[in-house]
Amino acid sequence: MDLLLSYYLWIVIFHIMAVLSWMAMLFYQPRLYVYHTEHKNKPDFVEVVKIQEYKMYKYIGLPAMWATIISGILMIILRPDLLNLNDPWLYAKLFFAGILVVYSFSLEHFRKRLEMGIYPKSGNIFRAYNEVPTVLSLLIVGYVITKTFSLAFTLITLLIGAFIIYKVLKQTPKDAS
């Protein structure tokens, strides 16, 4: 364990790089679903997008998510002092990171449906869905940088995120088909 502790900062660096890779997928995958949905009547285009969706999720997003989770667990094992009940920022971070994990798996659910030619949501819904990781990552980064939990910051961020999602949903749907 002491040997691993001497590599703690390298584990943090690996964790940050894994998060960046995972976030790339979380930010781009729903955008692919917008293209897929709005161009469903263009089979050649859809076939290319399906390949991109598959590779983005399976080769980048999923491995990066697991690398993020494993390195995060390792960091907590090496630094259990971070789990201080009097300073709940890490619990808030873990809560919202857990929601990102669920969100990530939901993207795979939608990918499989779209691959089968089932269009469960409109392009506008996927546009709005695309805002979710931005809001959650803002909260997570805020907690990590400040090493504190602020209810005001959390509520304001969630309200602004909800407003942005609302505005995206109210946009006139694009008709690219």
Domain ranges for the chain, please list them: 2-169
For the entire predicted model, the pTM comes to 0.91
On whether 109 is known to bind a ligand per the annotation, the reply is no
pLDDT digits 0-9 by tens, 110-133: 999 999 999 989 999 999 999 999
Tell me which residue of 60, 32, 31 sits closest to 46, measured CA to CA: 32
What is the rounded distance in angstroms from the CA atom of residue 38 to the CA atom of residue 56?
A: 19
- The low-confidence residues of the chain, meaning pLDDT below 50, are 176-177
Tell me which residue of 91, 81, 101 sits closest to 148, measured CA to CA: 91
pLDDT digits 0-9 by tens, 7-24: 999 999 999 999 999 999
What is the rounded distance in angstroms from the CA atom of residue 23 to the CA atom of residue 164?
A: 19
On whether 36 is known to bind a ligand per the annotation, the reply is no
**Cα first-last separation, the chain:** 57
- CA distances to 84, 87, 88 from 91, rounded to whole Å, are 9, 9, 5
